Each structure stands twice: as structure tokens, then as C-alpha cells.
Structure 1
Amino acid sequence: MTDDGTWGIDLHADDVTRFPGVAFVLWRVCGLSPEAGVALADEAQRHGTVRVLDCRTREEAERVVAEIQVLGVRATAATATTRR
């Protein structure tokens, strides 16, 4: 892996997956508490997207996004300065 700056994981609003499901995915993949996962899911629903995690490399961010997406939650990787 190369160190190419900080990359963020953005969670996107989802009309299908319920907050407890999102919280589980964020706990499983990102290590966030269930309470933090529900709060982030709520924020994504209200604002369209929310930053849930920062990674040191693009490769790490893309790996995390893939794990989140495999579990049925919509997420993308973006540079730390990019907000989607």
C-alpha cells in the first residue's frame, strides 16, 4: 500500500436498509459502537451522506467500502477534502 493522503468512507442514505442493519455493518466492518452506527445512519438519512471513517490509504478505504457494500449498505471512498 502507498501512503497517498487521508481517504474517507462516506455512508449514503438508504431507503431499504434499516438503522439497526446499518449499525451492525458499521460495527462489523469499522468497529463502531451500535449507538454510533445508528446515529450515523440517522445523519446520513437526514443529510444524504455522512463521513463514518478515515483511512490512511486509498487501498484501505476501497477495501473497507467493498466490505460495507457486500453487506448491503451503500458507501463510497473519497479524499479527506471531498464531501459527497
Structure 2
Amino acid sequence: MSDQQWAVVLHDDDVNSHTTVAFAVARAYGLPVERGFEMAHDVDTAGEGCLTWCTTREQAEALVADLQLWGLHVTLRSR
């Protein structure tokens, strides 16, 4: 079994634009904004998407909290 037990899940909403999602995700993960736009599109299409898996709940909670400050609908899910 993998050590990564906690998923950070981004949910589609009718409030945030692709641009807001892209910049928030890119900033939180240190990714290029283009990758943030790809992730925003994937979540818009599927309804939700796992952004990353974390080894500890604390790591996952910190990422969730950071993205929630941007107004994104993000949750934590255990494996």
C-alpha cells in the first residue's frame, strides 16, 4: 500500500472562473499557470478531481485550507 493516504479533491462549482482556479492551483503547487488551466478544465469536465495525494493528514489539510482561502470548493478524502 502506498504511503500517500490523503487526497486533496477539487470540486467544480458555479462561482469560480477557470482563471481563478488555474492561478490558485498553480500558486499552491508551484506549477505553471498552463497546468493550472488544464486541471481547471479537467475538474469542470468531470465534476471533481484529485489534485494530489499526501502522506499525512496535516499536509493535505494545509493544502485544502490554502485553496479554500481562494474560495475554491476543496475537500480532503482518505484512501
Q: TM-score range, shorter-chain basis? A: 0.7 to 0.9
Gap runs ≥5 in structure 1: none
8 Å CA contact 2:4, 2:53 repeated in 1: no
Secondary structure of the structure 1 residue equivalent to 2:8: strand
Are the equivalent residues in 2 in contact too, given 1:19–1:38 (CA < 8 A)? yes
Deviation per residue, 1:13-50 (Å, 9 max, x gap): 02111111111101111222211111111111111101
Q: Note if 1:24 corresponds to 2:23.
A: yes
1:66 alignment partner, SS class: helix
CA deviation after TM superposition for structure 1 residue 74, in Å: 1.0
Q: Which amino acid aligns with 1:49?
A: E
Q: SS state of the match for residue 44, structure 2?
A: helix
Runs (4+) of structure 1 exceeding 2 A deviation are none
Q: Is the 8 A contact 1:30 1:53 kept in 2?
A: no
- Greater shift in the superposed pair: 27-36 or 41-50: 27-36
User: Gaps spanning 5+ residues in structure 2: where?
Assistant: none
Q: Which residue number corresponds to residue 76 of structure 1?
A: 75
Q: Distance in 1 between matches of 2:20 and 2:51?
A: 15
Q: TM-score, normalised by structure 2?
A: 0.86
In structure 2, C-alpha distance between the alignment counterparts of 1:32 and 1:8, rounded to whole Å: 18
Describe how 1:1-84 pairs up with structure 2 within 5 A.
5-79=4-78, 81=79
Give secondary structure in 2 for the equivalent of 1:14. coil
- Return the alpha-carbon distance in structure 2 between the equivalents of residues 47 and 57 of structure 1: 26
